[in-house]
Every structure is written in C-alpha cells, then in structure tokens.
Structure 1
Amino acid sequence: MLKRIAIEDARLGMHVHRLEGDWVSHPFWRSQFTLESAADLEKLQASGMRVVWIDLAKGVDVAEPASTHTPTPAPAPALAEPPAVAAAQAPAPRTPAGWHEEQARARRLLDAVRPTAQRLLDEARLGRLVERGEADQLIGQVMASVDRHPGVLVTLVRLKQADAYTYMHSVAVSALMVALGRQLGLTDASCAEAGLAGLLHDIGKARIAPEILNKPGPLTTEEWVEVRDHPRRGHALLSSRGDTPASVLDACLHHHERADGQGYPDGVAGEDIALLTRMTSVCDVYDAISSDRPYKRAWSPAESIARMVAWKSHFDQDVLKAFVRCLGIYPVGSLVRLASQRLAVVVEHHPGHPAAPIVRAFFSLGSGHGIPPVRIDLRRGRDRIVSHEDPGPWDRDRLQALWLDDRSPVSA
C-alpha cells in the first residue's frame, strides 16, 4: 500500500517509493530505498522535497497521524559535488550578457571557428595535429562566450548541418564541457582543460573512413569494430606530440565507457572513470543524439535529456544532474505544452529553476489555431509546463525562428 506523507513525517524504517518533485533536486541515486541511517533521513529532510510516497508493505508507517498541512514548494538544494569537484576553487564572477547580444557574438564566433575545426580534422586524417596555440585560442573564445551567457553558444552550435557534424561536433562538445565545468564550479584552468577535452575527444574518428562514419544504414560487424577503435586511434595521435594533458588523453580514450562498466574500449566503471572523462561522456552523447546526422534525424533537446536520464546505467548521476541543471530539463528550443493548453518554445533559462524557463507561446490547442507569439516567464503566474511535445509535425525552421528571434510581447 502506498501512502503520501509530508517530508517532516519521514522516519527510519520507512521504504521510500517515490520522491515528489524534480528529479534534479533529490540527493539520492536510487529512486526506491529504505531509510536505514540517520544520515539518509537527515539528507532527505534537508533535500528541499516536501512530499514523499512510502510503501507500507516494505517499511514502517508514520509514528503518529501524518501532518495535515499542505506541503509547499521549497528551493532545491545545491548539487552535492563529486570530491574532485568540491575541491576546486570557484571561478570569479563574470559579467553577463543578454541573450540577443550574445547570440550575435556567438554567430560570429561559430563562423570564425569553422575553418579551425575543419583543419583540425583534415590534419588528423594525415596523422598530424594543428598547433596547440590554435586550439587554446579557440577554447578561450568558447569560454568567453559561455561566461557571458552560458546558454547561447551551446544552443546555437546544435544547429549545425548534418554534413558538418563530424568537425562541428567537437566545437559543440567543447562548449558543453565549459558550461558543465562552470556548473560544477571548476577553476578557469580546469574549464579550459575540459574545453580542450571536448575539442579533441573524437579526433580518432578522423582516421575512420567517412563512408563508414556517414553510412545511412546499419554497420557491418567489421565496420563497427572499426568505429569502436577510434578512441585508441585518437589517444595514440594525441600522445605522439607530448603536450596533451593526461586528463585530456584519458577523456579521448575512455569517453565511451559507462558507469556500469559496459562501455569500451576497456570496460572501466564508476569512480574508476576520471571526472573529466565522465563529463565528456555526457556532453558527447547529448550533442550526438540532439544533432542531425546523415543517417538519423535529431531528437529534440527535451527528448534527448529525458532519454539520458532514463539511461541510468550509462552516466555518472552527479555529473548528469549538473548537466541537466546547466541546460535545463527543457533546453532552449524545446517544444512544450503548457497547462493553459498552449504550445510554446523554450527561449531562455533561469539559473536554479530548471523546470520554469522563459517560453514563447504561439499556438492554442483549444482553438486549433496560431496565436500572436507571447513571451511568458514561468517563474511568475500560474502557467507551467506539463510535457514536452514532439516537434516532428511542425515546421522546424519556424520553430527555430521563435527562439532565435524572440522579440514577442511579454505576458503579465
């Protein structure tokens, strides 16, 4: 029998069936567990959750009649950082920029870095690497953009064309790594190293035939073996020059490892996977599944996040939680349904409010007709997101225009 109780009525011996609230807010790795220690009980009651469902068949009931007050929302606590992250020095405050101001800068940046990204790939095909200074300069530009507005560059770079995926993927992962590093509180030096890892993690794919990488149909066994060898090929190439940080070499070699040990090439698992490598795994997969490929249509940003959350055995959960907080549960560009029965596109996020972004409503499901686009801040008022929607039936260019040029009136 399941029972809904206020968080302050929880006690040792209860079996938690479900915590009611955002997944990114609760501090436990498991979704169902028995409260067996005072530390777990204290962690639960300090989590910011206000309601918990318990299973009376597997644990004890409340000691006395449960509280009759209606639980009220509370701010989510900060993410418990991995030891390697907690020890890092927090970066100095940055000067923020507005979305549209940074969007113009980010577009110019992407135009400028495309030749460098392409040359990085071309040189690697020949068994060479571009000068380290070129890579460092690119990372510096990425960091500056992320520091001015963390959401802009990582959103725009997702719009790369399918035929540019192979080389722009490295730029996208680099931007995501810097943004994730900032979310985790890494130092400037560590964020730069994270950006470099993102830029170079897939360099071994330059040594794989393009007809295999871009094959529209299933790979043969021999082709799959070839593709799975790209981490070792990249690691060998980066090792040959001698100036690549050890953490970047490890990210290149092990970014396809999984938390459960079922990845490749070495089957490394859990805490044996370095923090920077765990970060690279999350950023690499997100960009891969949310980008158009020659053989696959992109999943929407929100669907990509939802699927990654469901793949619990793949990723370090603390790193994934930080990544979700960085992009939001509904990343910019996501198509969502509101409680007011309107469709909207997510256009911007508020730090610390992953489920309440700013959206641009454009269609009434009640009338079945379009409405004048209106900008809505979901932290205010009564409207809220009830689900993400499949953008497939909609004109993607028109959806993109809704968040790329968000100058609609503001809802009260």
Structure 2
Amino acid sequence: MLKSIRSEQATLGMYVHSFSGGWLSHPLWRSRLLISSEQELTRIRSSNCEIIIDTAKGRDAPPPQSIRAPVSPAPMRASGRFGRADKVRATELAQRSKTIVDAMFADCRLGKGVPTTEILAVVDDIASSLNNMAAFISVTRLKAQDDQTYTHSVAVCALMINLARELGYTTDAARDLGMAGLLHDIGKSTIPPDILLKAGPLNEAETIEMRRHPVQGHSILSATTGVPAVALDVCQHHHERLDGSGYPFGLKGEAISIATRMASICDAYDAMTSIRPHAAGKSPLEAVTEMESADGQFDRALLFRFMGSIGVYPAGKLVRILGDRLAVTLPHKGQGMDPVFRTFYSTVETRFLQHCDVILTDCLAEGTTVIAEDPGSWFSESWPTMAARIMAGERPVRPT
C-alpha cells in the first residue's frame, strides 16, 4: 500500500517509493530505497518534502499528529498576490523577451535560422523570474494584435518551466523544456501575416495553411544546431491530442511524448486566457475547468499537476493533502488568491472529520503535494452530490 507522509515522519525500515518537488533533481538521492542507515534517515528528514512510502515493502507510519492544519472560520489573505514593483519587473522582462523572440521570427523569415545562444539567455532569464510566476504570467496574458505570437511563445516558455519544476525535473531538463516552449510556434514565421494576424475566424483554406506551422517549424529547427531534441518533438507535435483528434499526424495515446503533452496543456491554457484586442479571454479558472472537461484532449494527470503549478483548481475536486486528509477544492475567490481546500476525511483513521479550510501557501510547507483522488475508491455516494454538501458546510453520509 502506498501512503503519503511528511519527510520528518520517516523512520528506519520504511521503503521510499517516491517523493515530491525537488527530490528528483537532487543528485544524492535514488528514486526508491529502503531506509537502512541513520545517514539516509537524516538526509530524508531534512529534505522538507512529502514522500510516498510503500507499506508492503517496509514499515508503516503512525497516524500523523503534528501536521493537522489549524481550523479557521475563513480563509486568510493568500501570499500569491503581487505588488506594483513585481509587475513592473515582470513587464520589463516580458518586453525584453518578446523583443528577442520577435527578432528571431524575423530572422527565420529571411532564412537565417534560430539564434540558440540568445534564446537560451531568454529561457534562463524567464526561469530566474519564476519566484513570482503570477506576476509574469499576468503581464503576458495581454497580447497586442501585432505581437501576440511572440508574447504567447514567452508565456508558454514560462509555463513549461513552471510545470517542469512542479514535476521535479532537473534544472537542465527544465531549461530544455522552456526552450521547447519558446520555439514551439517558430513555424508560424512561414505563415502569411494576413492569416497569422487575422482578427476573425479563419476560413478553410486559411486553416489548412495555418496547420502547416508545426511541420514547417520542425524543418527550421532541424536545420539549426544546438536545439535540444525535445524542442523538435514539441514543435512538431504540440497540436496532437491523446484521442487522435489533433494534427498534423493524428497521433494517439502513447505515441505522444510526455513533453508534448505538457506543451499542449501550456499552449492551450495561454491561448484560452490571452486578452486580445478583439477577445476578452477566459479566466484561469474557466480555462482549466474547460480543459478538464475536454475528455480525451489532455493528459488528465499532467493537467492536474499543471493546475498545481499555477495554483488554480476547479471547485469540487477530491484531493488528498497534508499526507492523510481528503479534501474538496472550494470555489476560487479571485485573482491573486491561492487555492482553498476543505478537509473532511482522514485516510489513516478512516473517519470523517470536522471541516477545516486549508490555504495551500499559508498552511502547507514548501514541497507538499496535492494528490488527485478517485471518489469511487473512497465513497459509494455520488461525488457531485457529496461535494456540493461538503462545500455547503454539511456533513457527508459515510464512506464505502
């Protein structure tokens, strides 16, 4: 049986199955091990993360007593807000990045190829700005008609790096994924401006022309030295969908790489939330809710982790937090607010608890994960009905 615990709860004899956050990027750790020495135990306890143990291969953990979240009648102000100075810095970086991407597209139109050194510098600048992801993404949502492609590329780069960090990728791997995000639409440099910048919907002929850009982009990048293989993959396949409804090749399921699945999520999210001269754009909550309901389009596990990376979850989802608490996500209160979860059940004590509203940033230590759970594995009652009652402050009925 797999169980999630905090690293400070680890003891000798436990079998570590996996762990969250920065664990995978730490060169001293194996991904799985039996804790058999005091040295290993000390390192794990000091890692300040959440770990998954396999109780079939090692010792179980006692019910955690020290990680209960404080009960509060109302959510506190979240720390996800950003000030004017943050927005100014983010705007300056976004503008610098957009200018370089603009020049890159212009060079590609002239057959000059991609300046990989300059693009890597942009990726590194964006990566260093992600201490305040909310500020950076907020300024890239607004897209002028004549530079929307370039700003979109910058935004997807940031979202890819952010998601890579959420998934525990190494710094180098996250950089390659960021570069893939920055270059994913390079093929649009070959699309006529009257189609690329058209305000209204494209007709059939224009759509066919626009859908050439993944293959055209792959051709451009293939002729360029210093481009990571993942960028070539993402460029050619970021419009593929798991159910085979995408293009240019109609790939399905396992034929689509993890990197491309990540890129398709980041690409679609930014496109849906972009504020353009002729379109208001969806809110982040509206976008992730719509993406989640698009059955077969996106990798659901990756989409859930993407939600965690931007701090936006649709209301009514069943999740596990704090190691052993089942919770329901509450309706998002507004811009700049971190997600709020209402805990109601202990997976260790197997009983319902007094409701407790938990704000991710204020109540959970860095490295804590939010894990998606299947309601049918825990409860016999219809989950939408049960979730609505919990969100209304009522007690659930009983577990399966």
Matches within 5 A, 1:314-325: 314-325=297-308
- Give a deviation string over 1:306-347, Cα, whole Å, max 9, x none: 11111121111121111011112269xxxxxxxxxx995321
DSSP-derived class of the 1:264 partner: coil
CA distance in 1, matches of 2:245, 2:340: 32
Aligned position for 1:111: 95
Structure 1 residue 90: Cα displacement: 4.7
Matches within 5 A, 1:68-79: none
Is the 1:302–1:329 Cα contact (8 Å) retained in structure 2? yes
- TM-aligned CA distance change 1:320 to 1:81, over 3 Å: farther
Aligned position for 1:235: 218
CA distance in 2, matches of 1:302, 1:90: 33
CA distance in 2, matches of 1:203, 1:182: 24
Structure 1 residue 232: Cα displacement: 0.3
Aligned position for 1:368: none
Equivalent residue in structure 2 for 1:311, among 294, 313, 317: 294
Find out whether 1:190 has 2:173 as its counterpart. Answer: yes
- TM-aligned CA distance change 1:111 to 1:215, over 3 Å: closer
Equivalent residue in structure 2 for 1:265, among 241, 245, 248: 248
Is the 1:125–1:207 Cα contact (8 Å) retained in structure 2? yes
Is the 1:239–1:249 Cα contact (8 Å) retained in structure 2? yes
CA distance in 1, matches of 2:128, 2:233: 25
CA distance in 2, matches of 1:343, 1:273: 32
Is the 1:258–1:314 Cα contact (8 Å) retained in structure 2? yes
Structure 1 residue 121: Cα displacement: 1.7
Is the 2:23–2:168 Cα contact (8 Å) retained in structure 1? no
CA distance in 1, matches of 2:289, 2:27: 30
Is the 2:82–2:336 Cα contact (8 Å) retained in structure 1? no
- Give a deviation string over 1:151-192, Cα, whole Å, max 9, x none: 331232213334321111100000000111110110000110
Is the 2:184–2:234 Cα contact (8 Å) retained in structure 1? yes
Aligned position for 2:195: 212
Is the 2:145–2:197 Cα contact (8 Å) retained in structure 1? no
DSSP-derived class of the 2:128 partner: helix
Q: Which amino acid aligns with 2:101?
A: A
Equivalent residue in structure 2 for 1:158, among 126, 141, 146: 141
Equivalent residue in structure 1 for 2:25, among 84, 89, 100: 89
Q: Which amino acid aligns with 1:202?
A: D
CA distance in 1, matches of 2:4, 2:171: 29
CA distance in 1, matches of 2:250, 2:96: 38
Is the 2:80–2:336 Cα contact (8 Å) retained in structure 1? no
Is the 1:102–1:145 Cα contact (8 Å) retained in structure 2? no
Aligned position for 1:285: 268
Equivalent residue in structure 2 for 1:137, among 102, 117, 121: 121
CA distance in 2, matches of 1:81, 1:313: 28
Is the 1:207–1:230 Cα contact (8 Å) retained in structure 2? yes
Structure 1 residue 216: Cα displacement: 3.0
Identity of aligned residues (%): 37
Is the 2:81–2:336 Cα contact (8 Å) retained in structure 1? no
Find out whether 1:355 has 2:348 as its counterpart. Answer: no
Q: TM-score with structure 1 length normalisation?
A: 0.59
CA distance in 1, matches of 2:282, 2:27: 33
Q: Which amino acid aligns with 2:236?
A: L
CA distance in 2, matches of 1:112, 1:194: 20
Q: Which amino acid aligns with 1:266?
A: F
Structure 1 residue 103: Cα displacement: 3.3
Q: Which amino acid aligns with 1:245?
A: P
- Give a deviation string over 1:339-359, Cα, whole Å, max 9, x none: xxx99532143xxxx3359xx
CA distance in 2, matches of 1:88, 1:355: 27
CA distance in 2, matches of 1:159, 1:221: 28
For these two proteins, the number of residue pairs brought into alignment is 274
Is the 1:259–1:314 Cα contact (8 Å) retained in structure 2? yes
- TM-aligned CA distance change 1:292 to 1:99, over 3 Å: closer
Is the 2:137–2:155 Cα contact (8 Å) retained in structure 1? yes
DSSP-derived class of the 2:156 partner: helix
Q: Which amino acid aligns with 1:238?
A: L
Structure 1 residue 97: Cα displacement: 11
RMSD across aligned positions (CA) = 3.7
Equivalent residue in structure 1 for 2:312, among 313, 320, 329: 329
Aligned position for 2:351: none
CA distance in 1, matches of 2:248, 2:276: 24
| Structure 2 segments unaligned to the other structure (5+ residues) | 6-17, 29-46, 48-78, 315-330, 343-357, 364-390, 393-400
Aligned position for 2:108: 124
- Give a deviation string over 1:126-169, Cα, whole Å, max 9, x none: 232342110010000001011x2333312322133343211111
CA distance in 1, matches of 2:176, 2:19: 19
- TM-aligned CA distance change 1:218 to 1:258, over 3 Å: same
CA distance in 1, matches of 2:98, 2:22: 35
Structure 1 residue 120: Cα displacement: 1.5
CA distance in 2, matches of 1:218, 1:103: 32
- TM-aligned CA distance change 1:343 to 1:153, over 3 Å: closer
Equivalent residue in structure 2 for 1:276, among 217, 242, 259: 259
CA distance in 2, matches of 1:328, 1:287: 15
Structure 1 residue 104: Cα displacement: 3.6
Find out whether 1:203 has 2:139 as its counterpart. Answer: no
- TM-aligned CA distance change 1:218 to 1:115, over 3 Å: closer
Q: TM-score with structure 2 length normalisation?
A: 0.60
